[in-house]
Amino acid sequence: MNHQRTTRLLSALAMAALLFVGAAACGSSDDDSGTEGATDTTSSDSSGDTSDTTSASAGDTPAEATAPVIEDFNFIPDPIEIAAGDAVTWTNNDGFAHTVTADDDSFDSGNMDQDATFEQTFDEAGEFAYHCNIHTQMTGTVTVTS
């Protein structure tokens, strides 16, 4: 009986250690870029310059196509298809910080805590690959039609 109790205790401690390490690896940095609970309508490059990303109406595109969510370490839906001039607004529904960052660095949300949103307008047709800078296995694509 004592051996079973020791085994359960060791298993519980190992699980707690894994959860602690996982949470520490996924935690947000001190830079929340003003995204907590608010829509980010500007993007910023490394020099601190900002550009307006306010968009026109999403038009006839289905709501789920222009309002993806971040859940369970995934961008949903993926891919997203929109018309040129439309905006996409991502919402972080995870309990961990994430980013929405263009592979070509043309846009970056900064760290988004839970419930934060980020909006990006796409003016030109093409395919725009993006990822999470914190969790690089998270990837997505926005396809913009003219």
Would you say the pTM of this structure is higher than 0.75? no
Single-letter code of the amino acid located at 13:
L
pLDDT reported for residue 66: 83
The CATH superfamily assigned to 31-145 is Cupredoxins -  blue copper proteins (2.60.40.420)
Give CA–CA dist 40/70, Å, rounded: 16
The tokens of 25 are what? 């690896």
What's the pLDDT score for residue 1?
53
Task: With CA atoms as reference, report the closest residue to 97 among 115, 116, 118, 111.
Answer: 111
3-state secondary structure 107-118: CECCCECCCCEE
Q: Any idea where the domains of the chain sit in the sequence?
A: 31-145
- Residue 137 · residue 73 · CB < 8 Å: yes
What confidence tens digit (pLDDT) does each residue in 36-54 have? 333 333 333 333 333 333 3
Phi-psi region of 73 (alpha: psi -120 to 50; beta: other; left: phi over 0): left
Low-confidence ranges of the chain (pLDDT < 50): 16-65
What pairs with residue 43 in β-bridges?
51
Both structure tokens of 80:
């997203």
Give the model's pLDDT for residue 5. Answer: 58
